[in-house]
A and B are shown apart, each in its own frame.
Chain A
Amino acid sequence: MDPFLLEALLNGVLLGGVFALPALGLNLVFGVVDVVWLCYAELVMIGMYAVWFLYTQAGWPLALACAACLPLVAGLGLALHWLVVRPLLNAPPINQVLATGGVLFVLQGAATLVFKTDFRSLGVDMPPMELGDVFISGTKLIAFCAALVGAACLWAFLKFTYVGTAIRAIARDREVMPLMGVDPRRIYLIASGVGGTLAGLAACLLVVQLDVHPFVGLSFGPITFMICVMGGLGNMLGGFIAAFLMGLIISVGGFVGSTEMSYVIAFGFFILVMFIRPQGLFAR
Chain B
Amino acid sequence: MTGVLTTRRGLMQAGAGVALAATVPATARSQSGPLRVGVMTDLSGPFAGAGSQPLFWGAEVAIELFNQRGGAGGRQVQIVSADSQSRAEVAINEAERLLGQEQLEVVTGIYSSAHAVPLSGRFQQQKKLMWITSAIATAVLKDKNLSYVFRPTVHSDQYAEGSVSFIHEHAKARLGTDPDKVRLAVIYEDGPYGTGVAAGIEAEARKRNMPVVMKEAYSATAPDLSTLVTKLRRERADVIMHAGYNPDITLFLRQAKSGGLRFKMLIGHGAGYSQIDKLSETFGADVNNICNVDPAATQMLDQSRLGAGVADLAAAFLQRYQARHQSNDPPTHASMGFNNTWIFLEHVLKPAVAKTGGMTADALREAALQVDVPVGGTIQGYGVKFARPGTPMSGQNERSIAVVMQFDNGKSKVVWPTAIGVPPVLPLPAGHTYAAR
A interface residues (Cβ-Cβ under 8 A, vs B): 4, 7-8, 11, 15, 18, 108-109, 112, 116-119, 121, 123, 125-126, 128, 130, 135, 137-140, 209-211, 213-216, 218-220, 223, 250-251, 254-255, 258-260, 262-263
Q: Which 7 A-B pairs have the closest CB atoms?
A: A117-B48, A254-B227, A137-B258, A135-B260, A259-B218, A121-B282, A219-B223
B45 to chain A: closest residue by CB: A215
A-B contact pairs, 15 of them (CB 8 A): A11-B226, A109-B44, A117-B43, A126-B258, A128-B259, A138-B258, A140-B226, A211-B250, A215-B46, A223-B223, A251-B224, A258-B217, A259-B216, A260-B218, A263-B222
B222 CB contacts on chain A under 8 angstroms: 219, 259, 263
CB distance from B395 to the nearest CB of A (A): 30
Q: Is residue B86 within 8 Å, beta carbon to beta carbon, of the partner chain?
A: yes
A133 to chain B: closest residue by CB: B233
> What total of A-B pairs shows CB separation below 8 Å?
112
CB distance from B3 to the nearest CB of A (A): 30
A211-B251, A211-B282, A260-B190 known; A255 and B231 CB under 8 Å?
yes
Would you call the interface of chain A mostly helix, strand, loop, or mixed?
helix
In the bound complex, CA of A219 to CA of B216 (Å): 19
Most central of B46, B233, B255 by chain A CB within 10 Å: B46
Q: Is residue B355 within 8 Å, beta carbon to beta carbon, of the partner chain?
A: no
* A260 in contact with B217 (CB, 8 Å): yes
Q: Is residue B246 within 8 Å, beta carbon to beta carbon, of the partner chain?
A: yes
CB distance from B215 to the nearest CB of A (A): 9
* B223 in contact with A220 (CB, 8 Å): yes
A117-B53, A215-B46, A259-B228 known; A4 and B233 CB under 8 Å?
yes
* A8 in contact with B247 (CB, 8 Å): no
A119-B250, A211-B282, A260-B190 known; A125 and B257 CB under 8 Å?
yes
A117 CB contacts on chain B under 8 angstroms: 43-45, 48-49, 53
In the bound complex, CA of A215 to CA of B251 (Å): 15
CB distance from B97 to the nearest CB of A (A): 19
In the bound complex, CA of A112 to CA of B42 (Å): 12
B interface residues (Cβ-Cβ under 8 A, vs A): 43-46, 48-49, 53, 86, 190, 216-219, 221-228, 230-231, 233-234, 246-247, 250-251, 254-255, 257-260, 278, 281-282, 284
A139 CB contacts on chain B under 8 angstroms: 258
* A251 in contact with B226 (CB, 8 Å): yes
In the bound complex, CA of A11 to CA of B45 (Å): 28
CB distance from B400 to the nearest CB of A (A): 27
Q: Given A4-B230, A125-B257, A260-B190, output 13 extra A-B contacts at Cβ < 8 Å.
A: A15-B223, A18-B223, A18-B224, A128-B258, A130-B260, A140-B258, A213-B247, A219-B221, A251-B224, A251-B226, A255-B230, A258-B216, A259-B225
CB distance from A247 to the nearest CB of B (A): 8
In the bound complex, CA of A126 to CA of B258 (Å): 8
Contact pick for B86, options A135, A211, A215, CB 8 Å:
A215
* A137 in contact with B234 (CB, 8 Å): no
* A11 in contact with B251 (CB, 8 Å): no
In the bound complex, CA of A2 to CA of B221 (Å): 29
* A260 in contact with B259 (CB, 8 Å): no
* A250 in contact with B224 (CB, 8 Å): yes
B257 CB contacts on chain A under 8 angstroms: 125, 128
A254 to chain B: closest residue by CB: B227
CB distance from A70 to the nearest CB of B (A): 22
In the bound complex, CA of A123 to CA of B246 (Å): 16
B251 to chain A: closest residue by CB: A210
A126 CB contacts on chain B under 8 angstroms: 258
In the bound complex, CA of A121 to CA of B255 (Å): 14
B254 to chain A: closest residue by CB: A209
B230 CB contacts on chain A under 8 angstroms: 4, 7-8, 11, 255
B217 CB contacts on chain A under 8 angstroms: 258-260
CB distance from B93 to the nearest CB of A (A): 16
* B226 in contact with A118 (CB, 8 Å): no
* B260 in contact with A214 (CB, 8 Å): no
In the bound complex, CA of A123 to CA of B279 (Å): 11
In the bound complex, CA of A255 to CA of B43 (Å): 36
B221 CB contacts on chain A under 8 angstroms: 218-219
B247 CB contacts on chain A under 8 angstroms: 119, 210-211, 213, 216, 219
* B259 in contact with A135 (CB, 8 Å): yes
B228 to chain A: closest residue by CB: A259
A210 CB contacts on chain B under 8 angstroms: 223, 247, 251
Contact pick for B46, options A11, A15, A128, A213, CB 8 Å:
A213
CB distance from A251 to the nearest CB of B (A): 5
* A135 in contact with B258 (CB, 8 Å): yes
CB distance from B83 to the nearest CB of A (A): 10
B225 CB contacts on chain A under 8 angstroms: 259
A256 to chain B: closest residue by CB: B227
CB distance from A199 to the nearest CB of B (A): 16
A213 CB contacts on chain B under 8 angstroms: 46, 49, 247
CB distance from A117 to the nearest CB of B (A): 3
In the bound complex, CA of A92 to CA of B53 (Å): 40
A258 CB contacts on chain B under 8 angstroms: 216-217
A119-B247, A121-B250, A259-B217 known; A15 and B233 CB under 8 Å?
no
A126 to chain B: closest residue by CB: B258
In the bound complex, CA of A119 to CA of B44 (Å): 12
In the bound complex, CA of A4 to CA of B218 (Å): 19
In the bound complex, CA of A240 to CA of B254 (Å): 26
Contact pick for B227, options A211, A216, A223, A251, CB 8 Å:
A251
In the bound complex, CA of A232 to CA of B230 (Å): 32
A4-B231, A8-B230, A220-B223 known; A112 and B254 CB under 8 Å?
no
CB distance from B259 to the nearest CB of A (A): 5
In the bound complex, CA of A259 to CA of B227 (Å): 7
